[in-house]
Structure 1
Amino acid sequence: MTTVYLSTDPKADELLAHDRFALLVGMLLDQQVPMETAFAGPQKLVERLDEFSPGAVAAIDEDALLAAFKQTPAVHRFPGSMATRVQALARAIADDYDGDTAAIWQRDGKSGNAPSGAEILRRLKALPGFGEQKAKIFLALLGKQFGLEADGWREAAGDYGPAGAFRSIADVVDDESLQRVRETKKALKAAAKNGQS
């Protein structure tokens, strides 16, 4: 049984460990809020919506989804834009992967072989709200914590792939590693700022 420490909330983490759509939505929300706030978001949506699945979220009235995002405590500090992104993501999964989120990294390619790390990265980058960095971090998360064995996933994940990198949510397994990731991010941000001046 997979256990994770992504939101620091046991109930939210249990959802993330077993629901791949929730996990992907948590990654999508990981922007301009603390990591654990982003990954706690899917549990809030589960509690506020009648059904939380790609098909249901794709079909829900936009105002109803926005209301669920805005309810206190808010799912994200930018509820409007994030509700729109989550619905676009749900629609892409419903349309392109028959509502099966895990198919993004599990479904066979045209060759009949399991997708490579590079192919999974390409698929993730094609999703609404997923740029290069977010896609690489999610690929690393799948490899490090969810048993992904795709060929070349570490290489495709770039700087986020190596074991013990402590660069992203992919490396967070407890409070100590969460603090180490925060310190690394802070140092990288400071280095980038100093490099620009």
Structure 2
Amino acid sequence: MLRELHLTGNPDADKLLNDDPFALLVGMLLDQQYPMEHAFSGPLKIANRMDGFDLHKIAATDLETFVELCVTPPAIHRYGGSMARRVHALAQEIIEKYDGETENIWLSGRPKPDGAEVLKRLKSLPGFGEQKAKIFLALLGKQRGVAPKGWREAAGSYGDRGSRRSIADVTDAASLGEVRNFKKAAKAAAKQAAGA
């Protein structure tokens, strides 16, 4: 089922995420050591500085020029320079491997890719590790109507129905708070386990 995304608290940022799969992928890329809603607002910051958000334009922009654009306050991320390099590399990867169409990550191929294959493709993207790939797969399945066979299993606990553990479960301000509380509790438990 395709849900309208409400991830940032900013209607313009959310509209871009709804309209452009590459923007959503970039938001996921930026969702690291940075508040979720700010990470997913990053694509709008880029769009505002580049006269629109365009994967091909990003890939074609000189790397240092693009980095400068991304670190200009308000920066796209706490680590604006390194994240800008990853966004640039991600754009180039999608052009080279997926014909410039982000959806091809989860749609291209015969037979159509299953959940395990989509997860493998996501994990191979610049800036995406196992956890980030699973969360994005869960976001696609839970909110974007992208449900390749076995996606819940491939996404692990992030694919669980009714969970509140990641951006995949954020549908409004209340669920954002629940996810934030879950993450805080998980971090505290990990800290306690490390100290034990």
Q: Specify if TM > 0.5.
A: yes
AA aligned opposite 1:179: G
Gap regions ≥5 residues in structure 1: none
Q: Is the Cα contact below 8 Å between 1:155 and 1:161 reproduced in 2?
A: yes
Specify which of 165, 168, 178 is matched with residue 167 of structure 1. Answer: 165
Identify which of structures 1 and 2 has the higher relative contact order when contacts are C-alpha pairs closer than 8 Å and 6+ apart: 2
Query: How far is 1:2 from its partner?
Result: 4.4
Q: Is the Cα contact below 8 Å between 2:158 and 2:165 reproduced in 1?
A: yes
Q: Given the alignment of the two structures, is residue 186 of structure 1 paired with residue 187 of structure 2, yes or no?
A: no
SS of residue matched to 1:155: helix
Matches within 5 A, 1:1-197: 2-108=3-109, 112-197=110-195
Deviations 1:141-164 (A, max 9, x none): 000000012000000000100111
SS of residue matched to 1:31: coil
**Whole-Å separation in 2 of the counterparts to 1:173 and 1:96:** 31
SS of residue matched to 2:39: helix
Query: How far is 1:51 from its partner?
Result: 4.9
AA aligned opposite 1:58: A
Q: Is the Cα contact below 8 Å between 2:30 and 2:42 reproduced in 1?
A: yes
AA aligned opposite 2:191: K
TM-score for the superposition, normalised by structure 1: 0.95
**Whole-Å separation in 2 of the counterparts to 1:65 and 1:115:** 33
AA aligned opposite 1:57: I
Deviations 1:83-133 (A, max 9, x none): 11001111100100010001001112xxx2211000000000000000000
Query: How far is 1:196 from its partner?
Result: 1.0
AA aligned opposite 1:141: L
Gap regions ≥5 residues in structure 2: none
Give the stretch that moved more between structures: 138-147 or 54-63.
Answer: 54-63
Q: Is the Cα contact below 8 Å between 1:2 and 1:18 reproduced in 2?
A: no
**Whole-Å separation in 1 of the counterparts to 2:51 and 2:167:** 29
**Whole-Å separation in 2 of the counterparts to 1:32 and 1:5:** 20
Q: Which runs of 4+ in 1 moved over 4 A?
A: none
Q: Size of the alignment, in residue pairs?
A: 194
